[in-house]
Amino acid sequence: MKVVLTEALHARPASLLVRVASRRAAAIVLRKGSCEADARNIIDVLSLGAAKGQEIEIEARGEDADDALREIVELVTRGFSADLAPEIGSAAVEGVAVGRAVVAMSEERAPGEPRSVADETTRARGALLRAEDELAQLALALPPREAALFEPERAIVRDAAARIEGEIAAGRSAEDAVRAVLGGRATDLIADARARLLDALAGSQGAALGKIRDAGDVDVVLVTDELTPSLVASLPARVRGIVAVDEHAGSGALHTSHAAILARGRGVPVALVPSHAASSIVDGEEVMVDTTASPARVWAGPSAELAAEGRARQRALDVAREDDSGVVAGVASRLGVELLVNVDTLRDRVPPSAQGVGLLRTELLFAARAGAPSEEEQYASLLAVARAAHGRTVTVRLFDAGGDKPLPWLPARAGERGVALLLANADVLEAQLRAVARAAATAPMRALLPMCRSAADVRDIRARAPSLQVGAMIETPEAARDAAAIVEAADFVCLGTNDLAALVLGVGRADASRALDRRVLALVSDAIGAAHARGRRVTVCGEIAADPPGARVFVGLGVDALSVATSRFAELARGLSNATREECRAAAAASLSGTS
């Protein structure tokens, strides 16, 4: 096909043409006279030297050739509009954002020149102290639920100290010692600790936050190659979206990272793109991010019409997060499943149509404290949550600590977690049970045992608080296999799929949080069957419950309720609004068989 160029094929139009051509499998050739160019090769396209008004021939062969030809012709005839050639990536957090680009790429730090071992050790110790102080201050400034995400990083910094000093003793500079010990990015918390220590050694603060402050009082889209939890936690509200470099090329590591969890809680969409795509965005230009469909798309310099459309969708999503979407009652009657919310702080807003609080994480209400909360403090907090729940039932999970969730006022011995740790700290346990029992006398409230091991755990707690409804949280393969005995003793059951999946699959909870693995689902299905055989209701409260495809699987398996973060409640309701029981059962069957 021949077409007249509306713009010369200089750098910008040529790069847009190459971007569009590269999306397709077809082989695409451009011709100008006797010269020929591969449409996917920027050097070839520029070498044509095609000027505005000249005619070129476009030929496409192979799979999706017709679509490729149509898209390139449309690009040319519409004046090489950037609207037609967004950068393509994947969504870590869904949403739409429009704002001025703040490009904050990490600078390559030169290898440190070691001084004396004593001097380098002194510098390292100073950096470690500053890092620990920053993390402590961050924990105080954040809501308890978010502060808890940084607790493992504090342990990383403490554990790294001796190794860093060992590397210095072997002749490295403090900077190189930090890189040697924390160089691998097994988790984004390790990357966060590394960046924090290197900043401390350089005597600098995060460059990204400084650039955002300098951008003024405008909506911003942050573009960065180092998305860390600390950065997300510190972002001002005017940062409406994030474009981040996906270093691991679609591995999914950033999708379930601590940084993504924090961004999701703030309603900030995150698009993951290749490094060349992020590098093509110019500081200060308008950027639009849309991660609501697959693939995610990022436009640098969208047209006024596209930007206006993006802002309208952004406002609609903001309203939807505040409004609970008005479809909850329909979902409940059609699918026979309640939609509940998880509450982590006294500032969490419970949507009016939520059918209750399925999980109150009491340990997060008091995580920033140095000492255990008193019975009166707990009682007051429980009544506050009951008021926010609009008179619906509040399920109060007793303090869940131990393992990678330490609480300074609930010391744990090796291997103690959940109910085992509570039973080892009887004074803390009994004060909490008294507070829950008092609150339950005036508001619908029940107790939930974290990391329940056996029916004996349930009977022990029931004996201490005979007036309370007592439920069991099944989060381990052993408990799932013993579900028949546990549900016999309990009034209800909650399935914690994050821990269950992590233990079954042998991975971290962040990596397992969205895993619909048939080995996990087989245990879930058996536990649901055991509970229903004894007339007990079952709630799922793991991360996967907030994902509409995962929620459909659990509905198909027969759960009675799904409990999700307040920020994802409307998304879940909309995701289930058109589902049928037959579709959910089919999704569950496919996942159980491994064919989904």
Please write the tens of the pLDDT for every residue from 569-589: 877 888 888 889 999 999 999
Q: Could you tell me what percentage of the chain is helix, strand and coil, using 3-state DSSP and rounding each to the nearest 5?
A: 50, 15, 35
**pLDDT band (50, 70, 90) for residue 529:** very high
Q: Which of 10, 255, 276, 532 is catalytic?
A: 10
Active site residue 276: no
Q: What is the pLDDT of residue 255?
A: 59
Bond before 466 cis per omega within 30 degrees: no
Provide the residue count of the chain: 596
pTM over 0.75: no
For residue 493, give the nearest of 479, 469, 477, 474 by alpha carbon: 474
Residues 6 or more apart whose Cβ sits within 8 Å of residue 455: 482, 485, 486, 488, 489, 490
Reading the block at residue 250, the tokens are: 């679609």
Query: CA 543 to CA 258: how far, in whole Å?
Result: 13
Q: What is the pLDDT of residue 239?
A: 92
**pLDDT band (50, 70, 90) for residue 395:** very high
Alpha-carbon separation of residue 332 from 181, 321, 537, 545, 578 (angstroms): 51, 19, 15, 15, 12
* Mean pLDDT within 44-65: 90
* One-character DSSP codes across 289-352: EE-SSSSEEEEES--HHHHHHHHHHHHHHHHHHHS-TT-HHHHHHHH--EEEEEE-STTPPPPT
Query: CA 147 to CA 522: how far, in whole Å?
Result: 34
Which of residues 134 and 99 earns the better pLDDT score? Answer: 99
**Mean pLDDT for all residues in the chain:** 86
Reading the block at residue 374, the tokens are: 């008193």
* One-character DSSP codes across 484-507: HHHHHH-SEEEE-HHHHHHHHHTS
Element (H, E) at 97: strand 96-104
For residue 473, give the nearest of 501, 500, 494 by alpha carbon: 494
Please give the distance of CA 588 from its chain centroid, rounded to a whole number.
24
Q: What are the pLDDT digits (tens) for 165-182? A: 999 999 999 999 999 999
Residues 6 or more apart whose Cβ sits within 8 Å of residue 417: 400, 401, 402, 403, 405, 450, 451
Q: What is the pLDDT of residue 114?
A: 62
Instruction: Give backbone dihedrals phi and psi of 252, rounded to 5 degrees, phi first.
Output: 90, 0
Least confidently predicted of 106-115, 143-152, 305-314, 533-542: 106-115
Q: What is the pLDDT of residue 219?
A: 92
Q: Is pLDDT at 152 greater than 90 in this prediction?
A: no
Query: CA 338 to CA 354: how far, in whole Å?
Result: 8
Query: CA 389 to CA 241: how far, in whole Å?
Result: 30
Please give the distance of CA 86 from its chain centroid, rounded to a whole number.
24
Q: What is the pLDDT of residue 251?
A: 45
As a whole number of Å, the end-to-end CA separation of the chain is: 41
Which of residues 111 and 588 earns the better pLDDT score? Answer: 588
Q: Is pLDDT at 309 greater than 70 in this prediction?
A: yes
Please give the distance of CA 309 from its chain centroid, rounded to a whole number.
26
Q: Is pLDDT at 470 greater than 60 in this prediction?
A: yes
Q: What is the pLDDT of residue 249?
A: 47
Reading the block at residue 570, the tokens are: 């409307």
